[in-house]
Amino acid sequence: MIYTYIAAMAITTYLIRMLPLVLFQKKIENPFIRSFLGYVPYACLTAMTIPSIFYSTSSFLSALAGLAIAALLGWQKKSLPVVAGAACIAVFVTERILALF
Amino acid sequence: MRHTKTEQTSKEKHTKTNRPDLRQEIREGFVGSLPIAAGYFSVSFSFGILAAKEGLSPLLAGLISITNVTSAGQFAGLTLIAEHAGLLELILTQLVINLRYGLMSLSLSQRLFGIGTFRRLAIAFANTDEIFAVAVSRKEQPSFPYMMGLEIFPVLSWTAGTIIGAASGQLLPASVLSALGVALYGMFVAIVLPPAREQHPVRIVVLIALLLSLLFSYAPVLNGISSGFKIIICTVAASALGAALFPEKQEA
């Protein structure tokens, strides 16, 4: 039964990812849809980050510190590993400071 | 696979019309995948711990990760498996939580011109939030070797993290896991902000998505909507508003 569960999850997820990629191979000409799809990544990532990021660490304040550092460095166009790494360090340091109180 | 040694002429690399250098493309994909793989390891590690708690063997937990490659979907799926939920419920949950990938694949399809169906079948397998985000933030059109370079290591890291997490339980101290928890979000921020800084329409779309997401997370009634649907509604609404306000500024 466990294998049936796993297969059902995997097939559902794969079909969602696969069908649009295989069915739409030509350029979509409609300017509204083209711009819509162009905005999708940014809208989607924003909705996934806020407010989930605040629950991603063991305290709201450390997550806020991580977000602040990521936003600061991201705005300055630093590379992905730098921004992600700095955010982790900010969370770690903040939590060590919070632990002192 | 071509094994011919191709010389890198820096000018050719940057022109779209020339056949992209295979090794260079794989390497670029691989470099782009490193932060994703690091983030995945920490997240899948905690998934592995949870799976072990639910009574799954490390290899079975690893099997879920290598066949699904999706964080939220797997966490939800694990809960349902533990509850012995019905298959239909499991499938519907995956559909709702993972429907955003459909939007992402549609968006990605507009950047993969000239790549055939079989290769698309392979690319689709690990079109995760993070891999999608890195692929579309690339200036040149992502090639097939680039996509493979980008996908393989994170999938392996996702699977290895799960198995090791399930097998070793609390190997990493909680403080380190907590800090790693922010890694993926930090990456999202790094992807969104540079174009938001440069392009007014992107800035507006991000702002709309942010406000909508807060609304759907905290406003009464609206916060009852599942996180999968919330993300889809916010993405569609913000992107559609952006497309209505600034139709041709942003190319897909």
DSSP string, B92-161: HHHHHHHTHHHHHHHHHHTT-TT--HHHHHHHHHT--HHHHHHHHT-SSPPPHHHHHHHHHHHHHHHHHH
Average pLDDT over residues B107-126: 92
The yes-or-no verdict on residue B7 having pLDDT over 60 is no
Q: What does the CA dihedral B203, B204, B206, B209 come to, rounded to 10 degrees?
A: 180
CB A32 within 8 A of CB B242: no
Among A51, A86, A88, beta carbon nearest to B217 = A51
Among A20, A69, A88, beta carbon nearest to B102 = A20
Domain, as residue range, for A88: 37-99
Model confidence pLDDT, tens digit, residues B46-60 = 788 888 878 899 999
Say if A6 is an interface residue toward chain B (CB within 8 Å). Answer: yes
Interface of A with B in 13-72 (CB under 8 A): 13-14, 16-28, 31-53, 56-58, 62-63, 66-67, 69-71
Examine residue A51 and say whether the peptide bond preceding it is cis (omega within 30 degrees of 0): yes
C-alpha torsion sign, points B168, B173, B174, B180: negative
Cα angle at B131 between B183 and A86, to 5 degrees? 20
Model confidence pLDDT, tens digit, residues B156-169 = 999 999 999 899 86
The yes-or-no verdict on residue B140 having pLDDT over 80 is yes
* B81, part of any domain: yes
* B191, part of any domain: no
Mean of all residue pLDDT scores within chain B: 84
The yes-or-no verdict on residue A11 having pLDDT over 90 is yes
* B190, part of any domain: no
Token representation of residue B83: 């509850």
Q: Both B79 and B149 in a single domain?
A: yes
Model confidence pLDDT, tens digit, residues A37-95 = 888 888 888 988 899 899 888 899 999 999 999 999 999 998 877 888 899 999 999 99
* A14, part of any domain: no
* A7, part of any domain: no
Mutate to test the interface with B, among A6, A36, A95, A96 (most CBs of B within 10 A): A36
Q: In angstroms, rounded to a whole number, what is the distance separating the alpha carbons of residues B252 and B248?
A: 10
Q: In angstroms, rounded to a whole number, what is the distance separating the alpha carbons of residues A90 and A79?
A: 17
Q: Both B124 and B163 in a single domain?
A: yes
Q: In angstroms, rounded to a whole number, what is the distance separating the alpha carbons of residues B83 and B65?
A: 19
Q: In angstroms, rounded to a whole number, what is the distance separating the alpha carbons of residues B218 and B66?
A: 34
Q: Both B208 and B144 in a single domain?
A: no
Say if A101 is an interface residue toward chain B (CB within 8 Å). Answer: no
Minimum mean pLDDT range among B14-23, B33-42, B114-123, B174-183: B14-23
- Collect all residues with Cβ–Cβ distance below 8 Å to A39 and sequence separation of at least 6: B201, B202, B205, B238, B239, B242, B243, B250
Minimal C-alpha gap between A9 and chain B (Å): 6
Domain, as residue range, for B46: 20-180
Minimum mean pLDDT range among A14-18, B8-12, B172-176: B8-12
* A23, part of any domain: no
Of B180, B208, B242, the position where a domain reaches its end is B180
Token representation of residue B251: 């190319």
* A46, part of any domain: yes
Residues of chain A with Cβ-Cβ distance to B100 below 8 Å are 44
Residues of chain A with Cβ-Cβ distance to B117 below 8 Å are 22, 25
* B8, part of any domain: no
Q: In angstroms, rounded to a whole number, what is the distance separating the alpha carbons of residues B157 and B42?
A: 9
Residue B171: the pLDDT is 65
* B14, part of any domain: no
* B6, part of any domain: no
| Number of domains chain B is built from | 2
Q: Both B77 and B158 in a single domain?
A: yes
- Collect all residues with Cβ–Cβ distance below 8 Å to B160 and sequence separation of at least 6: B41, B44, B62
User: Which is more confidently placed, B32 or B11?
Assistant: B32
Residue A92: the pLDDT is 95
* B115, part of any domain: yes
| Number of domains chain A is built from | 1
